[in-house]
């Protein structure tokens, strides 16, 4: 759906793809087991898109460390000004990440808008399955002075921009910038906030929050954070990144939500994960996955996906693997429940002994079973493909945040009280799906 007013061109993509079955989260040579595909395991796909007489150019690309495809909508000056859409393949549903490098849309508006007319519209909805963007993709640029401006554009749309600084105890400082705008009739609106935080303990934070809606009633919200701090248990430097995204259709019962997180420390300890939910009319789906590396060679990975319809059909797939020093295990289950509550499942497992021997076993509710020992090499990733050195290299803006100057003889408070390490609901242990 596209609502077009100068500075207010948006599209909300709502698509569903197959609930895929695989063992690995990261690329590897590990073996894969394939099961017969049931027609009911296919989720429908929908793309809502209405044409406007004139649609500005837009480009969306993935983050630097991803292999995601590119959506590119262009004008061809030698041809009629029709929009051409190149859609990423279904193996990468909703694949395209918001880029904060000046887009073709922003360049288009900069040519058509008088100078000093306020911030340009940044009302692009988030995209599904694009993970956590790097800080340079957001283009965060905080003002060094307090600003409070607003105005009206030639087409009647309004805008505002504010910036300031908040101070607190222990050297706390938060520099922030807020901006936003509305179309002339108020049917489209966008808001965005940037901030950086620091204090005398060495804590640093960089963040973004944005939201918007269009004339069709579609709405969205997104937040991104990057944090540097000293871990209270290991006293090691730690960088954490997170993102939350959601979008909702204004014309049908459709929407989605995602929460992503990554945590790294200077000795190689790494944790990554995501929780996802989506709905399209009578169908809903969920996905959770996690990766945990202890920095010494121990690895845990898991995934749990399931979906259901209002008629009562349910299906899903889950697996986990644990390895250390070439020894470990994999196990999983694929299942399906019919509207009449008839249940089918296939469970499987592998034991890797580290000597070239692998014990494979499994069974299904239809009477299948196997229990064999085979000669097979063991493949798994003992280290994350994106780790501490990578995140440090991609966090230059976070690391360059300057804290307030500390007066002589003033030190940050120390808390030696007992505390419990908490990661909200970001557990590194696999959950049990609703099977």
- Segment among 137-146, 171-180, 368-377 with least mean pLDDT: 137-146
- Segment among 53-57, 168-172, 377-381, 428-432 with least mean pLDDT: 53-57
Length of the chain: 435
Distance CA(10)–CA(288), nearest Å, equals: 29
Say how many C-beta atoms besides its own lie within 10 A of residue 77's C-beta: 6
358 assigned to some structural domain: yes
Residues 340-350: what's their mean pLDDT?
A: 97
Lookup: tokens for 28: 């590897």
Please give the share of the chain, as a percent, with pLDDT higher than 90: 61
- Using 50, 70 and 90 to split pLDDT, how confident is the model at 110? very low
pLDDT in tens, 252-284: 999 999 999 999 999 999 999 999 999 999 999
415 assigned to some structural domain: no
- Segment among 14-23, 53-62, 194-203, 294-303 with least mean pLDDT: 53-62
Residues 362-391: what's their mean pLDDT?
A: 96
Question: 419-422: long-range contacts at Cβ-Cβ below 8 A with a sequence spacing of 24 or more?
Answer: 419/232, 421/232, 421/233
- Segment among 14-23, 35-44, 99-108, 191-200 with least mean pLDDT: 35-44
Residue with the bigger pLDDT between 125 and 395: it is 395
Could you give the number of structural domains in the chain? 1
pLDDT in tens, 175-231: 999 999 999 999 999 999 999 999 999 999 999 999 999 999 999 999 999 999 998
Is residue 31 scored above 60 in pLDDT?
Answer: no
Please report the pLDDT score of residue 60 as a whole number: 36
Q: What is the mean pLDDT of the chain?
A: 76
409 assigned to some structural domain: no
280 assigned to some structural domain: yes
77 assigned to some structural domain: no
- Segment among 105-114, 155-164, 219-228, 272-281 with least mean pLDDT: 105-114
Residue with the bigger pLDDT between 267 and 26: it is 267
Say how many C-beta atoms besides its own lie within 10 A of residue 403's C-beta: 16
- Segment among 27-41, 232-246, 334-348 with least mean pLDDT: 27-41
- Segment among 53-62, 129-138, 354-363 with least mean pLDDT: 53-62
- Using 50, 70 and 90 to split pLDDT, how confident is the model at 99? very low
Range of the domain at 356: 165-180+187-400
Please report the pLDDT score of residue 219 as a whole number: 96
261 assigned to some structural domain: yes
Residues 407-434: what's their mean pLDDT?
A: 55
149 assigned to some structural domain: no
The HSE-up count of residue 409 (CA atoms within 13 Å, CB side) is 0
216 assigned to some structural domain: yes
């Amino acid at each position: 759906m596209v609502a077009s007013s100068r500075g207010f061109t948006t599209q909300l993509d709502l698509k569903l793809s197959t609930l895929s079955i695989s063992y690995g989260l990261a690329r590897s040579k590990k073996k894969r087991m394939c099961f017969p595909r049931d027609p009911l395991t296919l989720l429908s796909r929908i793309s809502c898109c209405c044409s406007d007489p004139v649609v500005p150019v837009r480009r969306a690309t993935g983050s630097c460390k991803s292999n995601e495809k590119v959506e590119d909508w262009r004008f061809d000056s030698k041809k009629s000004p029709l929009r051409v859409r190149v859609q990423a393949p279904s193996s990468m549903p909703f694949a395209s990440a918001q880029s904060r490098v000046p887009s073709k849309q922003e360049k288009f508006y900069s040519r058509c808008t008088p100078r000093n007319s306020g911030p340009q519209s940044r009302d692009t909805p988030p995209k599904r399955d694009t993970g956590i963007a790097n800080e340079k993709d957001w283009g965060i640029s905080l003002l060094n002075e307090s600003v409070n401006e607003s105005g009206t554009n030639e087409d009647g749309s309004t805008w505002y921009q504010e910036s300031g600084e908040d101070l607190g105890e222990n050297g706390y400082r938060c520099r922030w910038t807020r901006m936003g705008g509305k179309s002339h009739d108020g049917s489209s609106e966008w808001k965005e906030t940037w901030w950086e935080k620091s204090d005398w303990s060495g804590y640093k934070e960089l963040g973004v929050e944005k939201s918007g809606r269009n004339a069709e009633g579609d709405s969205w919200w997104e937040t991104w954070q990057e944090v540097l701090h000293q871990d209270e248990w290991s006293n090691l430097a730690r960088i954490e990144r997170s993102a939350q995204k959601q979008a909702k259709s204004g014309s049908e019962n459709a929407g989605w939500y995602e929460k992503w997180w990554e945590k790294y420390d200077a000795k190689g300890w790494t944790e990554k994960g995501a929780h996802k939910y989506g709905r399209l009319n009578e169908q809903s789906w969920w996905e959770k996955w996690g990766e945990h590396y202890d920095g010494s060679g121990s690895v845990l990975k898991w995934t749990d996906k399931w979906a259901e319809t209002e008629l009562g059909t349910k299906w899903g797939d889950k697996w986990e693997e644990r390895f250390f020093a070439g020894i470990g295990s994999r196990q999983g289950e694929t299942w399906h429940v019919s509207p009449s509550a008839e249940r089918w499942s296939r469970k499987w497992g592998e034991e890797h002994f580290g000597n070239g021997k692998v014990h494979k076993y499994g069974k299904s509710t239809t009477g299948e079973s196997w229990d064999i020992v085979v000669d097979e090499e063991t493949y798994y990733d003992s280290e994350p493909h994106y780790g501490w050195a990578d995140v440090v290299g991609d966090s230059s803006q976070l690391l360059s945040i300057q804290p307030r100057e500390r007066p002589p003889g003033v030190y940050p408070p120390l808390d030696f009280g007992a505390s419990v390490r908490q990661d909200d609901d970001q557990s590194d242990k696999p959950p049990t799906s609703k099977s």
